[in-house]
Amino acid sequence: MSETKFKDIARQIEQRIDEGVYPPNAKLPPHRELAADLDTTPATISKAYKLLAEMNRVESFVGRGTFVVGESQLNQAIQPAESDAQFNFSILQPYVSKNLASLRSAYQKASMSFSPELLAYTDHSGHLSHREAGAIWAHRYGLSAATASNVLLTNGAQHALSLLIETLTQPGDVIAVEALTYPGILAIASLAGRQVIGVDMDNDGLIPSVLEEVLRSHKPKLVIAIPSHQNPTGITMPIQRRKAIAAIIEHSSAYLVEDDIYGFLNEATLPAICHWLPEKGIHISGLSKAISPAMRCGFVVAPDHLLPTLNAHIRANIWLASPINFIVAEQLISSGEAFSMAEAQRDIAKQRQTIAKDILGDVISKADGYHVWVTLPAHWQQERFVMEAKQRDLIVTSGSYFAAGDSHPNCIRLSLMSIKNNDALTQGLKELKSLLDSHVVSLAPF
């Protein structure tokens, strides 16, 4: 074997990763198969995989094979705009300008309620009045069982997800997720060495019979579901489906983590799945999507028997989520202003969905939240489309970042909320539409 042969082969494999031939988290071909394909030997493939592992592009697991690293997925899925000229369809957040004045005055007012007790270390992981506010929020959007005594405060929903994954599973354990899911969940699982298995979905979300089969055959410790305005598909599980999923989990050995961060977008409140799982359901909500992600206010409602462990983990990791932000959360929730802000965001989302439907038509999913899931026409491959869009200053997210396991949807996700106004949104969507319809792609390299 020449000294550099394996480096050439590694470069070729890396190029395939960059081009999306092997998307994030995909299993790479077995050594022998790839060796035949690239006209080399299995030993060279082995050295190339080792080099790519050192470069953190792939990961190998004994007995399972070699996989494309998915860690950077989160960064790639959610990209900051590099200039004002760009149309950023990648960030799922509220239209924050709308909340600016309210938040400025709420933070000013909050500073007036600082007290020595609030500014000191505490012997608990969340002030009672702040947990009460969390219970009111969770209750308003579907979890009637929430009370101050079973609410925990976290630094946003992302912290809640990582807390629950780390607490309720061990390295090597299996976590069942929706076949297309929020990349933040995949990133935690990958960093923490948990295996994920994707559960197929239909138009109502997780398919009960498939979930049952996955629970039987893979024995996951945790099922994580996003029941409302699911990220990325936009699906909202109807009540019957929520009940069916709860009944299946009730009879299994798994816990449910219900990430209901978009629950406030439902026109009429839908009961959380956790409503039917008082002992096995853990519910996540928060203010990031309704008010501002910068507040980092997350609320976890958990069964009593899990509270001591979860509290201990919060204490050990962060002591407590900053009470300064939760003073604001409490003020906004108890005055009712938080609910008006959430409603205003829902109205903006509805308006923007109408604009998107008018321009993009049938290719978008049935959705009324912050984003749309677009099925690309057959002449487009998602990674190529994302690159071509970027060259036109349109930042969109490839469907591959959401795929848990082997599903490779030829889709992209578009957030409608981070573009500065409706005129800019209209312009950006029209440019996307013309790219979708065009068969002529530039010859620019990836």
Ligand X SMILES: Cc1ncc(COP(=O)(O)O)c(C=O)c1O
In sequence order, the 6+-apart residues with CB closer than 8 A to the CB of 20 are: 381, 382, 383, 384, 398, 400
In sequence order, the 6+-apart residues with CB closer than 8 A to the CB of 98 are: 341, 344, 345, 348
Q: Smallest gap, in angstroms, from Cβ of residue 387 to ligand X?
A: 23
Pick out residues in 183-202 that bind ligand X (CB under 6 A): 184
261 forms part of the interface with ligand X (CB under 6 A): yes
399 forms part of the interface with ligand X (CB under 6 A): no
428 forms part of the interface with ligand X (CB under 6 A): no
293 forms part of the interface with ligand X (CB under 6 A): yes
Q: Smallest gap, in angstroms, from Cβ of residue 286 to ligand X?
A: 5
| Residue 13 CB-density burial (10 A; 0-12 exposed, 13-18 middle, 19+ buried) | buried
Q: Which of 164, 226, 277, 419 binds ligand X (CB under 6 A)?
A: 226
Q: Smallest gap, in angstroms, from Cβ of residue 19 to ligand X?
A: 26
Crossing angle for the helix pair 208-218 and 239-250, nearest 10 degrees?
A: 20
Three-class secondary structure assignment of 240-255: HHHHHHHHHHHCCCCE
In sequence order, the 6+-apart residues with CB closer than 8 A to the CB of 198 are: 176, 177, 178, 179, 180, 181, 403, 404, 405, 406, 407
Q: Smallest gap, in angstroms, from Cβ of residue 345 to ligand X?
A: 14
231 forms part of the interface with ligand X (CB under 6 A): yes
Give the containing element (helix H, strand E) for 311.
Answer: helix 307-318
Pick out residues in 79-108 that bind ligand X (CB under 6 A): 92
Residue of 230, 236, 258 lying closest to 413 (CA atoms): 230
Assigned token pair, 134: 């969390």
| Pick 20 or 184: Cβ nearer ligand X | 184
CA 398, 264, 70 angle in degrees (round to 5)?
A: 25
Q: Smallest gap, in angstroms, from Cβ of residue 313 to ligand X?
A: 17
182 forms part of the interface with ligand X (CB under 6 A): yes
| Pick 232 or 405: Cβ nearer ligand X | 232
| Pick 14 or 259: Cβ nearer ligand X | 259
Question: In this chain, which stretch among 9-17, 101-109, 154-162, 238-246 interacts with ligand X, using CB under 6 A?
Answer: 154-162
Task: Count CB atoms within 10 A of the CB of residue 147.
Answer: 15
298 forms part of the interface with ligand X (CB under 6 A): yes
208 forms part of the interface with ligand X (CB under 6 A): no
Question: In this chain, which stretch among 20-28, 30-38, 285-293, 378-386 interacts with ligand X, using CB under 6 A?
Answer: 285-293
- Binding-site ranges for ligand X (CB under 6 A): 92, 156-158, 182, 184, 226, 231, 259, 261, 286, 288, 293, 298
